[in-house]
Chain A
């Protein structure tokens, strides 16, 4: 698959979204908010991992695959920046230390011990938000996170 993006482990693409007000009365002539995207390689790795782990743990993806996609990208983003897929639904004082320590590296201890995933990535069948799927394609991830 041809890709224009460098495959270095710390590579990222920047999507520029314009936030000028509709009436053009923004203080800045052109407001740029850079949204850092995880590398495709890491997204693919975390996608495969998620499918595999859902099967292994008997859990299912959210009915809204957008949620699944966002979390997978969050895991990929941390894998790029920290070398480990730290949980994207927690706030950390020292991210590198946490990544080294491992409690919150996906699959985190609460997930491994009690199948508790507050990211809504891995959902037990009794969960209201659980769908019936344990697969998600790269296209699904791309499409549902296209507007970010």
Chain B
């Protein structure tokens, strides 16, 4: 069960989700599948009725003041990150411990660890759980964090790496997280 800490929409998959938009957009066309596009709040209010009566076109986005806040971290679940969303999310975690599962697509032990990692995230609600696919796209970040063995779990506190667990060692991982969590 995920616990949302803010009003921001859930998707962290794409790099563009650094922008938080209001959960209930003020201007929403009746046929839109994606409720976001660029318009100001005041003009969309005024044009709302017009848009609807005209039979609505496309998607509308309301950029509210929440846009400037930045990403919010989710607890109670594992959030997929990439080279663009990782550091902002780590920063947004504040003083909470952050653990990131660095995996690759075709690594067997990673598949063994994934469900256990997920369950752990649902249990430890004061720790932020992230996962990073160490593919070609995210290579710069993987290099920055440092990884040889896959999977590798890095634990961060205050945006600094404080512990690392290499390999699919669940008990070692739990111990490491507990150590950082209580420090």
Contact = CB atoms under 8 A, between A and B. Distances in A.
B142 interface: yes
B34 A73 contact: no
Most buried by B among A75, A89, A93, A118: A89
A77 B16 contact: no
A119 B34 contact: no
Contact of B106 (A19, A27, A88): A88
Contacts of B5: none
Contacts, number: 87
A62 interface: yes
A70 B111 contact: yes
A35 B151 CA distance: 19
B134 interface: yes
Interface stretch (B6-14, B41-49, B154-162): B6-14
B36 interface: yes
Contacts of B102: 91
B112 A120 contact: yes
Nearest to B16: A27
Interface in A55-107: 62, 64, 66-68, 70-71, 73-75, 77, 88-91, 93
A28 B142 CA distance: 27
B107 A70 contact: yes
B11 A21 contact: yes
B149 A21 contact: no
Nearest to A76: B106
Contact of A89 (B13, B35, B36, B108): B108
Contact of A91 (B17, B111, B112, B150): B150
B13 A19 contact: yes
Contact of B109 (A29, A31, A118): A118
Interface in B125-164: 134, 142-143, 147-152
A71 B106 contact: yes
A88 B104 contact: yes
A35 B133 CA distance: 12
Interface of B: 9-11, 13-14, 16-17, 33-36, 102, 104-112, 134, 142-143, 147-152, 167-168
Given A21-B11, A27-B17, A119-B109, 7 more contacts: A26-B34, A71-B107, A77-B105, A88-B150, A89-B149, A89-B150, A120-B168
Interface of A: 19, 21, 24-29, 31, 35, 62, 64, 66-68, 70-71, 73-75, 77, 88-91, 93, 118-121, 148
